[in-house]
A and B are shown apart, each in its own frame.
Chain A
C-alpha cells in the first residue's frame, strides 16, 4: 500500500509511559510546529495515575485550522512496549508506525497496510549515556530529533525552544541539542526524509484562525490570568483534576504580579481548604465582605458546594466558581473530558435555584469570560459558574491572544457606600427592588457607623432583610429573583450565530470544546449538500437570540459531550420551544474529545435515514428529555 501523503494535515500520536518525562519533549514537538506557523492542537490522553501507566499525546496538524479532534491516527510514535499491540492496531491504513527497533519487532505486530520506521532509541541511549535517569529522559528528546528529520520540522526552532526551556540552567542546553541531533542524524541517514506525510512552513493560512498572532496555552492558565486581571484577591480551593492547575497558575502569576511594591506583602490570599464545601464558604464570606473571590473545582466539588450555592443564590452574595468538567458520575473517569455538569450546575442546590453559567470555547475566551464572570457576579449578586472542561483546561490550545482594555473598570454592582447611605432620603431595604430589574442594593460590613447593617441569611426574608414566614413576602422575593434572572439575559455573553452558505431549515447548537469539531463537521456536511446554520451557546440564561434560532429552524441538532443531552434538556426547560422532537441530541461521551467525523456521521445518518446510529449502543434520539 502506498504510504499516506499530505502536507500540514495529519494526526500523530505518541504512546508513552507516564512519569518518564515525555511531556516536555512532546510539548516541544507541538510548539515547534506552532512556531512554523502551522495550526496545531495537541492533547494529553492520560491515566489517573502518577507513574508507570500508558499515556498518549495526540497532535493534530491542520493547515485549515481545524483544532478539534479529527479521529484516526496517521503516525504513531510508539515508545511504550506495554501498549504496542493496541497502538499498532490503531494506525490508519497507509499510516506510519515509528518504534524502538533495539529489539526486533514481534511478528504478530506486523501489518501489511502500514509503514514501519524502526529507530533503535534504547540502543542509542545505552551507547550515549551511563546514568539510568538520563537514558530515560533523553530518549524522549531523541525521538523528537528523529521526527524533525522525518517530518521536516525546522531544526533551528527546536534549538530555540531548548534554549528557552533551559533559561537559567544553561548547562542543560548543549546535551539536549545533542540528543536532538542524535535522533535527527539517525533518521536522516537511514530513511528517505522527509516522509510523504510531512510539514512545510508558510502554509499556515488557517482559515478558522484569522490573521491575529495566535498563542498556544491551556484554558486553566487563561482563567487564572483572568482572575488576576479581574482583581480577584481571595482564592480558596481543594485539589482535584482537572482544575488544580487553575489555582497553581493563579498562585504563580500572583507571586509575580500581586506583590505590593511598597511593602513586599501579598495583595491576595490563597487558601487550600479542607474540602470543597469550605472552599465555597470562604469564597462566599469574602464576597459578602466586598472582596472578589473564586474557587475552581470539577464535578465532585460542585456536588459538595451545592448547599452553599443555594445560600449565595438566595442570600444574594456574589461568587465565581470555575468548573473544569471531567467524566462523571461519581469519580467517573477523572482524567477524561466531558460536558456533563450542565444540568447540575444550572440548578445546583435544593429549592428553586438557577445559576448563571458561561461556556468558554478557547483560552482567549477563558480569559475574557473570567473577567466577565466577576463583573456579572457582582452586578447580579449571585454565583456565576464558568463551565470549562478537561479538554480545554489541561491542553495547550491555539487561541487568539488574550486581550485587556485598560479603560475597563470593574463593575462592582449596586453597592451603597457611606456617602450614598448618608444621602438616602428613603428607607434602605437590602432586598428592595428599587430599579425594577430585580437587583437590590447591598452594603459592605463596616461601611457606615450607623446605617446599612443588615442580617444576611439563607432563610426567608422581606424587602428589609427581616426574617419572615409570610407566604406573600416569600413569593415576592422568589419572583424578584426570577426577574433578576431575566435581567441577566441582557448582561451575559450572547450566542455566536453563523448562517450556512445555502438556505437551510436545519441548525446545529453546541458550546465549549464541542465547537471546533462541530464547525468542522458542518463544513464536511456542507460539501455533501447538507447545510446547517450554527449557534454556539456562550451563556445561561438563554437570551432571545437563542429562542429565535430554535424558533426559526425545523430541526436543531444539539451536539454535546454527555450521555443525557443535558444542554438539550436545559433548552427544553428554559426556552419556549414546545416541540421536543425538534431538538435532536448528537452525543458522545466516551471521555475522549468528540470528533468532527463522528458528529458529521451522526448528523448525516439522521438526515439521510431519519435516524441516528447510536454510537454507544443507546438510543439517543428518543425522549431524552423525559
Chain B
C-alpha cells in the first residue's frame, strides 16, 4: 500500500515569516493507529516549527525504535532524519551535534526507548546538556511490540491483559531535573494549547530540553484501569498554561501578575507560565521537584514548564569547540602537514 498525500493547497493558506505554508512542515502520511497520541504530537511539532518560521532543512530529526520513534517520518519531510537503534538516539544526536552545532536537533523517543533500554544514554545526554529538544512520547507501554509494560507505567495501573503493575515507575521529568537537565516540561498529547508553546520554548532553549508528553496508545493502553489513557489523563491533568512570545514580538496579553512567571529565553523570546501556586519557582530544582511530587501525591499530574535553567553551558561550551561547525573544516584547518611530521619523527629518534 502506498500513501499519497493530496497535493492540493488552499490559495489563501496562511504563510509564516519565511513565506512557507504549514504544509511545508508536514511529513509523510502516518501509518500509526488512528487516534494514537503520537500523531497529535507530530501535528504539534509541525505547528510549532511553522509558527517559529524555522527553515526545515536546518532541522535534524533523530529517533530510536518504537511507534514513537517512527514519527519523524510524519513531520518536516524537508529535514534530514536518522532513525537509529533502540534506546541509542542520544549518542547519535550527540555525535551529530558535535559535528555541526548550527542545526536544530529534535529527538523523538518512546518511554520504552528512553526509560528502559535507553535509560543510560538518556541520563548521560541530560548530564552533557546537549543542545537539543528531546521528546518522549510516553504511553506507559511498548506500542510497537504489542503492549508490554514499560518502566513509566504507574504502579497500580493495569495493562490490557489485566495484570497489575507492582513495580515503581520511573518519572523521566523528575529524573531529568534531578540529574541536571536545564529545561524540563511535561505535557499531554491531547492538550495542543499547552504542547505547541512548550515545543517552541524547548526548541528556543539553548541546552538540553526534555518534554515528557503523555501520549495514549489507543490500541494497548487506553482502557479503564490504565493511568495513561485519554480518559484518565483528562481527569488528573493539572495543566499550567504556557504562552510563547517569539523574540521582538510585543507582549500584549494581560495577566494576573501573582501566579504568572515570564522567562526570557536565550534568543530573546519569552515563555510565560501561569502557575497554580505562587511559591513555585520554576528556576529552582527543589521547588520544581516538590511541585511535581506534591501533585503526584494527590493523584494529579502537573503539566507545563516544570523547570528551566537559563544561561547554562551546553556541551560545546564545556568542550570549548570552535564556533564554526567541525564538519565544515578541511585540510587547511585540520592537517598539520609534513614539515611538522618531520619534527615529530625527529623527536622519536
For residue A35, CB closer than 8 A to chain B, the reply is yes
Q: Which residues of B are found within 8 Å of A267, using beta-carbon distances?
A: 321-322, 326, 329, 333-334
A275-B120, A456-B81, A458-B83 known; A285+B99 contact, CB < 8 A: yes
Within 8 A of A (CB), among B12-71: 55-58, 60, 62
Complex-state Cα separation, A283 to B92, whole angstroms:
7
For residue A59, CB closer than 8 A to chain B, the reply is no
For residue B331, CB closer than 8 A to chain A, the reply is yes
Complex-state Cα separation, A265 to B322, whole angstroms:
5
The reply to whether A453 and B85 form a contact with Cβ atoms under 8 Å apart is no
Q: Which of B243-251, B260-268, B336-344 contacts A (4 or more CB under 8 A)?
A: B336-344
For residue A587, CB closer than 8 A to chain B, the reply is no
For residue A67, CB closer than 8 A to chain B, the reply is no
Complex-state Cα separation, A298 to B21, whole angstroms:
51
For residue B93, CB closer than 8 A to chain A, the reply is yes
The reply to whether A453 and B88 form a contact with Cβ atoms under 8 Å apart is no
Complex-state Cα separation, A410 to B329, whole angstroms:
11
- Nearest chain B residue, comparing its CB with the CB of A449: B57
For residue A263, CB closer than 8 A to chain B, the reply is yes
Q: Which residues of B are found within 8 Å of A277, using beta-carbon distances?
A: 88, 91, 121
Chain A, 246-288, contact with B by CB distance < 8 Å: what is the 0/1 string? Answer: 0000000000011010010111111101110111111111111
Q: Which residues of B are found within 8 Å of A500, using beta-carbon distances?
A: none
Q: Which residues of B are found within 8 Å of A448, using beta-carbon distances?
A: 57
The reply to whether A450 and B78 form a contact with Cβ atoms under 8 Å apart is yes
The reply to whether B82 and A456 form a contact with Cβ atoms under 8 Å apart is yes
The reply to whether A265 and B323 form a contact with Cβ atoms under 8 Å apart is yes
Q: Which residues of B are found within 8 Å of A35, using beta-carbon distances?
A: 349
For residue B164, CB closer than 8 A to chain A, the reply is no
Complex-state Cα separation, A111 to B334, whole angstroms:
59
Interface residues on A, range: 35 or more
- Nearest chain B residue, comparing its CB with the CB of A34: B349
The reply to whether B85 and A311 form a contact with Cβ atoms under 8 Å apart is yes
The reply to whether A285 and B91 form a contact with Cβ atoms under 8 Å apart is yes
Chain B, 75-92, contact with A by CB distance < 8 Å: what is the 0/1 string? Answer: 001111111110010111
Picked from A228, A260, A274, A444, the residue with its CB within 8 Å of the CB of B120 is A274
**Nearest chain B CB to A477 CB, angstrom units:** 16
**Most central of B72, B94, B334, B348 by chain A CB within 10 Å:** B348
For residue A215, CB closer than 8 A to chain B, the reply is yes
Q: Which of A189-197, A398-406, A549-557, A616-624 contacts B (4 or more CB under 8 A)?
A: A398-406
The reply to whether B80 and A285 form a contact with Cβ atoms under 8 Å apart is no
Chain A, 159-202, contact with B by CB distance < 8 Å: what is the 0/1 string? Answer: 00000000000000000000000000000000000000000000
For residue B162, CB closer than 8 A to chain A, the reply is no
Chain A, 203-222, contact with B by CB distance < 8 Å: what is the 0/1 string? Answer: 00000000001111100000
Q: Which residues of A are found within 8 Å of B73, using beta-carbon distances?
A: 455, 467
- Nearest chain A residue, comparing its CB with the CB of B18: A449
- Nearest chain B residue, comparing its CB with the CB of A233: B326
- Nearest chain A residue, comparing its CB with the CB of B55: A449
The reply to whether B322 and A290 form a contact with Cβ atoms under 8 Å apart is no
Picked from B56, B95, B340, the residue with its CB within 8 Å of the CB of A293 is B95
Q: Which residues of A are found within 8 Å of B320, using beta-carbon distances?
A: 265-266
The reply to whether A405 and B338 form a contact with Cβ atoms under 8 Å apart is yes
For residue A225, CB closer than 8 A to chain B, the reply is yes
The reply to whether B91 and A282 form a contact with Cβ atoms under 8 Å apart is yes
The reply to whether B57 and A288 form a contact with Cβ atoms under 8 Å apart is no
**Nearest chain B CB to A301 CB, angstrom units:** 14
Within 8 A of B (CB), among A287-336: 287-291, 293, 307-308, 311
Picked from B81, B90, B100, B120, the residue with its CB within 8 Å of the CB of A446 is B100
The reply to whether A409 and B327 form a contact with Cβ atoms under 8 Å apart is no
**Nearest chain B CB to A185 CB, angstrom units:** 29
For residue A234, CB closer than 8 A to chain B, the reply is yes
Complex-state Cα separation, A282 to B103, whole angstroms:
16
Picked from A234, A280, A409, A446, the residue with its CB within 8 Å of the CB of B326 is A234
The reply to whether B57 and A215 form a contact with Cβ atoms under 8 Å apart is no
Q: Which residues of A are found within 8 Å of B329, using beta-carbon distances?
A: 231, 233, 267
**Most central of B95, B334, B341 by chain A CB within 10 Å:** B95
The reply to whether A307 and B326 form a contact with Cβ atoms under 8 Å apart is no
Within 8 A of B (CB), among A427-466: 443-450, 453-459
Chain B, 255-288, contact with A by CB distance < 8 Å: what is the 0/1 string? Answer: 0000000000000000000000000000000000
The reply to whether B336 and A458 form a contact with Cβ atoms under 8 Å apart is no
For residue B335, CB closer than 8 A to chain A, the reply is yes
Q: Which residues of A are found within 8 Å of B60, using beta-carbon distances?
A: 289, 445-446
**Nearest chain A CB to B294 CB, angstrom units:** 32
For residue A64, CB closer than 8 A to chain B, the reply is no
The reply to whether A289 and B96 form a contact with Cβ atoms under 8 Å apart is yes
The reply to whether A285 and B83 form a contact with Cβ atoms under 8 Å apart is no
For residue A236, CB closer than 8 A to chain B, the reply is yes
The reply to whether A289 and B322 form a contact with Cβ atoms under 8 Å apart is no
Picked from B62, B98, B340, B344, the residue with its CB within 8 Å of the CB of A271 is B98
A233-B326, A282-B92, A453-B80 known; A266+B99 contact, CB < 8 A: no
5 residue pairs, one from A and one from B, having the closest CB atoms: A285-B95, A281-B91, A291-B99, A445-B80, A282-B95
Excluding A281-B94, A401-B342, A445-B60, 10 further A-B contacts by CB distance (< 8 Å) are: A229-B335, A234-B98, A269-B98, A277-B91, A285-B91, A286-B98, A308-B85, A446-B60, A455-B83, A459-B83
